[in-house]
Chains A and B, each alone.
Chain A
């Protein structure tokens, strides 16, 4: 059996999880606490990947990340190489696809934090940024953990969006879900079955972990 797609899936899931937690936490914080015009529109836009078929999202990402798209051109100007059909390209696609799965549990955890605790931190001299790191983050660990697990699971399971943006380049974009699909297409059922069998305990153990966290600390926190 070719192990490379499986390792690539795990690598992709790990990188996108770390990046999304770092990027989504301040965004969720702003969406929770700040009041600004167009907030409802922005939230709906962030959640749009949950409502769209992955192929639709993948198609538009392919357009904007392609050599003629603004993101593709911008990337090429900076790095000198194209974005689509690369590992970096599928990471960018996954960041957008999984963003709502990171934002929702984080927002739920941030919303649960007592406002007077934040005000107390301000009166004690902490800036909003210091309050974020010293008060909000330590009191939202389970929300962050839930977000990380959800993002990891969705990254492992992503298929349509990765196929659209990354295609199936061995060692670069051919992740486990795509390798399973291709194995089935070429009637290599044994290989497909083995890979599926390996993915089940990985996904199951992460879901179990998520359940344990949410049960211990209430919903998301």
Chain B
């Protein structure tokens, strides 16, 4: 049940060129700055974008092979994709949204109770909060019993408390699902908290040292902030402490 991807795609400002795999019990986090090509990667995995060349296979099944002209459409990949803006269907209530592509109704109820949205089952999606929409979107995708779960910055528009609770929920879910989960984020703490493996993407490439550089920058920022705090506390300027030397 391993998901493997090796693709190239010419984007307006750089060429995306990545190769990686994700095993069923793992949560792989694609991390990197905005515009690095992370969303393009999972859109290609979902079948919503086509690469210029490459292959995508899942459990021995070829989803894409540009050389052989194979392309399995998104409808036939049976995966879950939690979009960044979690688009639910506005003409349906929450329960009908969750049940939209569900295999059975008992699973819908169970999931909705688990994600604490069962009380909203008869509410139209326009009337619920961002956190509730996100939980509904996750339930909608899980109700389909996906073979792979893709999540594109699913917590980016949520407040800190909701984000923290959902992270906890996803972490717990990861152990139960036993399917490859690919999570896109630019939030390093979210990545380290959730991910079994981290894949740093910069300008369409896998750049492992980016994480190290990011950590160093973060460390440097913390030191600088600490020193600035000392200056403020002493209300004096110490010429020996040059911020640029940090």
Chain A residues with a Cβ under 8 A of chain B: 114, 116-117, 119-127, 135, 138-139
Contacts and interface: CB of A to CB of B under 8 A. Distances in A.
B108 to A, nearest CB: 13
A interface: dominant SS: helix
B101 A125 contact: yes
A117 B75 contact: no
A122 B144 CA distance: 13
B87 A117 contact: yes
Nearest to B152: A116
Given A116-B83, A119-B48, A124 B73 contact: no
Nearest to A118: B87
Given A138-B91, A139-B91, A122 B74 contact: yes
A126 B90 contact: no
Contacts of A125: 75, 78, 101, 144
A71 B154 CA distance: 56
Contacts of B140: 124
Interface in B187-214: none
Contact of B83 (A119, A126, A135, A138): A119
B118 interface: no
Given A119-B48, A123-B79, 15 more contacts: A114-B85, A116-B85, A119-B81, A119-B83, A120-B81, A122-B47, A123-B46, A123-B47, A123-B74, A124-B140, A125-B75, A125-B78, A126-B75, A139-B90, A139-B91
Contacts, number: 50
A31 B125 CA distance: 29
A122 B79 CA distance: 10
Nearest to B81: A123
B89 interface: yes
A182 B179 CA distance: 76
A59 to B, nearest CB: 44
Contacts of A123: 46-48, 74-75, 77, 79-81
9 A-B pairs with the lowest CB-CB distances in the bound complex, closest first: A124-B101, A117-B87, A138-B91, A116-B87, A123-B81, A122-B74, A123-B74, A120-B87, A125-B75
A122 B101 CA distance: 10
B115 interface: no
Interface in B174-193: none
Contacts of B48: 119, 122-123
Nearest to A119: B48
B89 to A, nearest CB: 6
Interface string B59-88: 000000000000001110111110101011
Contacts of B77: 123
A125 B141 CA distance: 11
Nearest to A128: B75
A124 B89 CA distance: 12
B89 A126 contact: no
A122 to B, nearest CB: 5
A124 B87 contact: no
Contacts of B80: 123
Contacts of B75: 122-123, 125-127
Contacts of A117: 87-89
Contacts of B101: 124-126
18 contacts: A116-B87, A119-B46, A119-B83, A120-B81, A120-B87, A122-B74, A123-B46, A123-B48, A123-B75, A123-B79, A123-B80, A124-B100, A124-B140, A125-B75, A126-B101, A127-B75, A138-B91, A139-B89
Contacts of B73: 122
Nearest to A139: B91
Q: Which one of B77, B87, B140 has the greatest number of beta carbons of chain A within 10 Å?
A: B87
